[in-house]
Amino acid sequence: MDANKHPQEQNKEEMQATTKPLAKGAAGSRRIFSKRWVYPAIYLGAAALIIGLMYVKSQVSSSPVTSNAVENPSGQATATTEQFQWPAATSVDPKVTLGFFPDKGTQAQQANALVVYDNGYYPHMGYDIQAANKQAFNVEAALSGKVTSVSANPLYGNIIDVTSPNGYEVSYESLGKVEVKVGDTVKQGQVLGTSGTCQFEQSQGNHLYFAVYKNGNPVDPGTLLPKL
C-alpha cells in the first residue's frame, strides 16, 4: 500500500485492477460465440453426448441381473431368530383364563385383567394358561435358553426363570413339579415341570402363570405367541 494515498483511493485502484481481467475474459467469450461455426459444433457435440448416454443405458438395461445377497464366508446358513411357542402341548387344548393387563386399554379391558387377593386388586402382568380339562399338564419351554432361577414362593408356587439368548426372560409360575435346575440349558419344547396351583390365584385352579420380560419390562405374551 502507498503511504501517500488515501486508503479509499488505494482500494479503488485495487478493485479496478482485479476487475479488468474479468471484463476481458467476458468479452473474449462473446467473441468466441459470435463465430458462426461454434453453434453447429455445440449441437453436434450435444447430440453425440445424448447418443452415447442412450447407448450406455441400453447396455446397462440389457445386462444380466445379479444377486445382492451376501454369502456367508463360513459357508454355513445364518441362524434364524427362534420364535415363541406355547408353553403347553396343543394336545391339552390350552386356554387363556386370565390375560395381560393393558396399560392403555379401556377400563373394561383393565378390569378383566385384575387379580383380586386379600381385599386388593393387582394388575395381571402375564397369562394364566389352563388345560381344557382343567387338569395338570406338562409345561414346556416357550424359548430355548438357560435356567437362571428356580424357587418356591408361598404365594406364587414353584417358579422357573429362563433367560433366552435374544434377551427375553420367561417366567413359569404356579408350578406343581419342577424338572430342571439352575444352570441347565433347555431347548424349546423341553418339559420344565407341571402346572399347579398357588395361593395368590386360588380361583384359577390348576394353571400355569406365564410371564415374559424384555429389559426388565413386562411384555404382553399375546404379541409373541402364535395364534391358537
Q: Which tens digit of pLDDT belongs to each residue from 41-91? A: 444 454 455 555 554 444 444 433 333 333 444 445 445 789 999 999 989
Q: What is the pLDDT of residues 183-222, one digit of tens each?
A: 999 999 999 999 999 999 999 999 999 999 999 999 999 9
Instruction: Give the span between the Cα atoms of 30 and 139, in whole angstroms.
Output: 90
> What pTM value is reported for the model?
0.66
Instruction: Give the span between the Cα atoms of 82 and 86, in whole angstroms.
Output: 13
- 225 burial level (CB within 10 Å; 0-12, 13-18, 19+): buried
Q: Supply the DSSP symbol for 137.
A: -
Tell whether the model's pLDDT for residue 35 goes beyond 80.
no
- Torsion over CA of 139, 142, 146 and 148, rounded to 10 degrees? -60
* Cβ-Cβ contacts under 8 Å for 130 (sequence gap 6 or more): 94, 95, 97, 195, 204, 205, 206, 207, 208
- 87 burial level (CB within 10 Å; 0-12, 13-18, 19+): buried
- Summarize the confidence of residues 174-184 as an average pLDDT: 98
